[in-house]
Amino acid sequence: MFGLSEKERCGFKRIFSLMTHSDLLSLSDTVTNKVIAVENVTEAIDTILSFTKNAEELLKRRKIYRDVIFKYLAMEGVTMPPNSEKHQLVKRTLELWSSGKVNEHKQEEADQKMSDSTNVKPSVDVDPLVLGQHFCRWFFQLLNSQNSSLNQPPQAWGPQHFWPDVKLKLFARAGSERMEEFLGSELVSCRLLALPSTERLIFSPNLEPRGLKALVSPHGLVLVAVAGTIHRDATCLGIFEQVFGLIRSPLDNDSWKIKFIHLKIRGQDCVSGAEVAAPALSFNSTDLQLLCS
Angle of CA points 9, 13, 19, to nearest 5°: 140
**What is the C-alpha to C-alpha distance for residues 38 and 132, in angstroms, rounded to an integer?**
44
CB count within 10 Å of CB 99 equals 10
Phi, psi (deg, nearest 5) at residue 226 = -140, 145
Q: What is the pLDDT of residue 35?
A: 84
pTM, full prediction:
0.61
Mean pLDDT of 146-153: 86
pLDDT tens for each residue of 79-117? 788 788 999 999 999 999 988 544 444 444 444 444 444
User: 21: Cβ–Cβ under 8 A, 6 or more apart, which residues?
Assistant: 41
pLDDT tens for each residue of 20-39? 888 999 999 999 888 888 88
Is pLDDT above 60 for 241?
yes
**E strand spans, the chain:** 162-174, 176-183, 202-206, 212-216, 222-232, 235-249, 255-267
Mean pLDDT of 186-191: 95
One-letter identity of residue 73: L
Window from 140-149, 220-229, 248-257 with minimum mean pLDDT: 248-257
Q: What is the pLDDT of residue 105?
A: 42
CB count within 10 Å of CB 97 equals 21
Q: Domain spanning 113-292 has what CATH number?
A: 3.10.450.50
**What is the C-alpha to C-alpha distance for residues 89 and 79, in angstroms, rounded to an integer?**
10
Rounded to the nearest 10°, the torsion over CA 238, 264, 144, 129 is 110
3-class secondary structure, 1: coil
Across all residues in the chain, what is the average pLDDT?
Answer: 83
Q: Is 271 exposed, middle or buried (0-12, 13-18, 19+ CB in 10 A)?
A: middle
**What is the C-alpha to C-alpha distance for residues 25 and 39, in angstroms, rounded to an integer?**
8
**What is the C-alpha to C-alpha distance for residues 105 and 114, in angstroms, rounded to an integer?**
14
pLDDT tens for each residue of 197-221? 999 999 999 888 889 999 988 788 8
Is pLDDT above 50 for 64?
yes
| CB contact at 8 A, 214 and 246 | no
For residue 203, which of 238, 152, 155, 157 has the smallest C-alpha distance? Answer: 238
Q: Where do you find CATH 3.10.450.50 in the chain?
A: 113-292
- Higher model confidence: residue 244 or residue 277? 244
Q: What is the pLDDT of residue 74?
A: 83
